């Protein structure tokens, strides 16, 4: 297979992998809120972090020892798609005709939380391992094709972000029966459709090897042996702050579109700038975040060389302050919408800078034998424990208290949202200040980082 053909196939694989995620991740909250599950939104996002603690490791062992990675990838996507279809079908079957015109108070009780949450959880449990499996399939194909994974994989991965953005735009603008996907259970059907396509496409990938005699167990796959790094003070501080920063990661994914869409229920905003266009197209507005994410990756090398590894981490942490703070100031009229756009722009810095610089720091500070486990631990602390804890606290103790108790379509609800974002911004600022005084990157790490760029 020609290298250009292989790269195109892998780029397509990456595109669909993240298009699946983008079809529901930032828009699901709007649908859940409308059908009377507003106070349970955080649980749907929290469970994503919880299953990420163990499912990728379990399916990774399956791919390493018994079922080739491309087939494991296909199997996971197929199961995830079936249960996402089931979640959509369940919602469709229980909601009354004309439900979109009803208020969320009127719809309480139609969609059973336990049923839809169980179906969704099983789907997500099998989707989350596919991100790592997708990388394994791509690395194997590149190596078999004689290509450089370090050089050739990043451009391929960018197509994943493109897929996420395209999916966001699709659910924002595509309508079925006059209802956009972002506000309906049809987003689950779209997710399932992408999943089936991905499952079939994964089977066309080059075969990955299995090693039935491989040593090591679940503890190794989970990276639990890397917890020994907590014995080193600077690594313990780093991992603790990784968790504290991880608290912020999923909050805007959980509530961003629900917050923006709430302006459409208030006359001042629904008839405001461009007849409330931004209030009615929240997923489009949030998609700017992913565009920023793709562009900010290009800035990291320069910033690492200019500010050092601690400086880049601090920039990321302060970007989270701005991310939440701008949401707290913004609205969908002019000039408030400028702050919403600015919040989406700084998201790329907030998300990319810490993930990349943190990964580099872990790589340079750990023994080669523990590097993979240490990277796994870094992901557990940020996207697992941190993100799950943050989503739970944000939902249960902030949004449910200050927003979900307010009447829809009132300024009191808008004020509740703004109050919540300022609480999150204050938290992010506290983490930024503590990190500045508590964390010290060894001089050798700073020098090595600069020299390697």
pLDDT digits (tens, 9 = 90+) for 49-85: 999 988 988 888 888 888 999 999 999 999 999 999 9
Q: What is the dihedral of CA 291, 340, 255, 18, to 10 degrees?
A: -10
The pLDDT value recorded for residue 225 is 72
Against a cut of 0.85, is the pTM above it?
yes
Q: What is the CATH number of the domain that holds 347?
A: 1.20.1250.20
- 199 & 319 share domain: no
**Residue owning tokens 């298009």:** 19
Q: Which residue has the higher pLDDT, 218 or 35?
A: 35
Interatomic CA distance for residues 416 and 412, integer angstroms = 6
User: How do residues 426-450 score in pLDDT, each as one tens digit?
Assistant: 999 999 999 999 998 766 555 555 4
Query: What is the C-alpha to C-alpha distance for residues 23 and 171, in angstroms, rounded to an integer?
Result: 6
Residues 173 and 229 in one domain: no
Per-residue pLDDT, 223: 63
Query: Same structural domain for residues 192 and 319?
Result: no
Residue 258 lies in a domain: yes
Question: pLDDT tens, 90-119?
Answer: 999 999 999 999 998 999 999 999 999 999
Q: How far apart are CA 64 and CA 242, in angstroms?
A: 28
Residue 43 belongs to domain spanning:
1-206
Model confidence at 214, pLDDT cuts 50, 70, 90, reads: low
User: What integer pLDDT is reported at residue 377 of this predicted model?
Assistant: 85
In a domain? residue 213: no
pLDDT for the residue 448? 56
231 shares a domain with 196: no
Do residue 239 and residue 172 come from a single domain? no
Residues 201 and 242 grouped into a single domain: no
Distance CA 112, CA 55 (A): 26
**Closest by Cα among 267, 252, 289 to 387:** 252
From 173, 206, 239, give the residue that closes a domain.
Answer: 206
pLDDT at 316 over 60: yes
Flag whether 12 is in a domain. yes
Task: Specify the number of domains making up the chain.
Answer: 2
Q: Where does the pLDDT of residue 275 fall: very low under 50, low under 70, confident under 90, or very high at 90 and above?
A: confident
Which of 45-54, 116-125, 351-360, 439-448 has maximum average pLDDT? 116-125
Is there a domain that residue 179 lies in?
Answer: yes
Residues 166 and 242 in one domain: no
Last residue of a domain, one of 147, 171, 206: 206
Whether residue 181 sits in one domain with residue 81 = yes
Mean pLDDT highest for which of 163-167, 296-300, 307-311?
A: 163-167
Average pLDDT over residues 323-332: 97
Query: Do 413 and 374 fall into the same domain?
Result: yes
Residue 109 shares a structural domain with residue 234? no
Q: Which of 57-71, 165-179, 261-275, 351-365 has the highest mean pLDDT?
A: 165-179
């Amino acid at each position: 297979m020609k290298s250009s053909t292989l790269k195109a196939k892998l780029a397509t694989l990456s595109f669909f992998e993240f298009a699946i995620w983008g079809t529901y991740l930032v828009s699901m909250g709007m649908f859940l809120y409308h059908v009377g599950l507003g106070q349970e939104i955080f649980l749907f996002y929290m469970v994503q972090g919880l299953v990420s603690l163990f499912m990728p490791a379990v399916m990774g062992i399956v791919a390493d020892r018994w079922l080739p990675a491309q087939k494991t990838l296909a199997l996971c996507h197929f199961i995830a798609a079936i249960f996402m279809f089931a979640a959509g079908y369940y919602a469709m079957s229980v909601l009354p005709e004309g439900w979109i015109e009803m208020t969320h108070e009127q719809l309480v009780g139609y969609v059973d939380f336990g049923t839809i949450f169980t179906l969704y959880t099983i789907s997500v449990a099998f989707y989350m391992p596919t991100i790592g499996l997708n990388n394994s399939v791509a690395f194997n194909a590149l190596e078999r094709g004689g290509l450089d994974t370090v050089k050739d994989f990043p451009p391929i991965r960018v197509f994943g972000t493109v897929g996420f953005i395209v999916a966001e735009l699709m659910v924002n603008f595509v309508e079925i029966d006059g209802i956009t996907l972002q506000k309906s259970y049809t987003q689950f059907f779209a997710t399932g459709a992408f999943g089936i396509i991905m499952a079939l496409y994964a089977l066309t990938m080059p075969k990955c090897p299995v090693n039935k005699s491989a040593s090591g167990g679940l503890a190794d796959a989970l990276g639990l042996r890397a917890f020994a790094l907590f014995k080193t003070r600077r690594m313990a501080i780093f991992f603790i702050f990784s968790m504290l920063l991880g608290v912020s990661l999923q909050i805007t994914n959980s509530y961003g579109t629900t917050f923006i869409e709430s302006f459409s229920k208030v006359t001042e905003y629904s008839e405001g700038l461009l007849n409330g266009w931004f209030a009615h197209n929240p997923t489009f507005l949030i998609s700017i975040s992913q565009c920023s994410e793709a562009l900010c990756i290009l800035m990291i090398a320069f910033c690492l060389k200019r500010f050092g590894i601690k400086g880049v981490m601090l920039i990321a942490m302060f970007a989270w302050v701005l991310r939440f703070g701008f949401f707290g100031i913004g609205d969908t009229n002019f000039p408030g919408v400028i702050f919403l756009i600015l919040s989406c722009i700084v998201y790329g810095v907030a998300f990319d800078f810490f993930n990349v610089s943190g990964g580099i720091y872990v790589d340079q500070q750990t023994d080669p034998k523990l590097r993979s486990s240490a990277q796994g631990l870094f992901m557990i602390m940020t996207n697992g424990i941190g993100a799950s804890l943050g989503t739970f606290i944000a939902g249960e103790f902030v949004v449910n208290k200050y927003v979900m108790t307010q009447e829809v379509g009132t300024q009191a609800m808008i004020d509740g949202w703004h109050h919540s974002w300022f609480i999150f911004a204050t938290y992010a600022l506290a983490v930024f200040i503590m990190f500045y005084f508590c964390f010290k990157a060894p001089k050798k790490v700073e020098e090595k980082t600069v020299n390697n760029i």
